[in-house]
Amino acid sequence: MGDMINRVARLAALLGFISVLAGCAASYRNHGYVPNQEDINSLVVGVDTRATVDDVIGAPSAAGLLSEGDYYYVRSRVREYGAFRPEVVERQVLAISFAQDDTIANIESFSLADGNVVPLTRRVTSSSVVDKGILRQLLGNFGNIDPSQIFN
């Protein structure tokens, strides 16, 4: 009977260890869209227009700030591995710029190796009322009132 319990305990430990290892397997997420190289090669700089680009490779997920801006196609592959921070392992950017007459001026392709890491910062406006209660806020305004401005 004791030998059977030891076997069950070892089997449970082995299954637990295997499930922990399986939980640490890398998983990948894909975001965005970049058209395939054949479709990009079919576009001719100086000849094809914005409408042609829309027909051949589709509308971009991001365009320039203006309504007549350049086209940007972005695709990223993110690896998630266990408890580690997700890491971007692949990024492709296709930029199509247009001339004044709406024909393609340039087609550029960039990868993660071409870019620089841009640190994202979070700017938060500090509040001056963090340590003040509602009564202190209300009563603190009495000294700031200028009666001459009330009647103007």
Q: Residue 40 falls within a domain, yes or no? A: yes
Range of the domain at 106: 26-116
State pLDDT tens for residues 99-121.
888 899 999 888 888 766 545 44
Q: Residue 7 falls within a domain, yes or no? A: no
pTM of the model: 0.59
Percentages helix, strand, coil for the chain, rounded to the nearest 5?
A: 30, 25, 40
pLDDT exceeding 70 applies to what percent of the chain? 75
Report how many domains make up the chain.
1
Work out the average pLDDT over 5-14: 85
State pLDDT tens for residues 117-150.
545 445 555 566 566 777 777 777 666 777 677 7
pLDDT at 22 over 70: no
Give the pLDDT confidence score for residue 120 in this predicted structure. 43
Rounded CA-CA distance 143/137 in Å is: 11
Rounded CA-CA distance 98/93 in Å is: 16
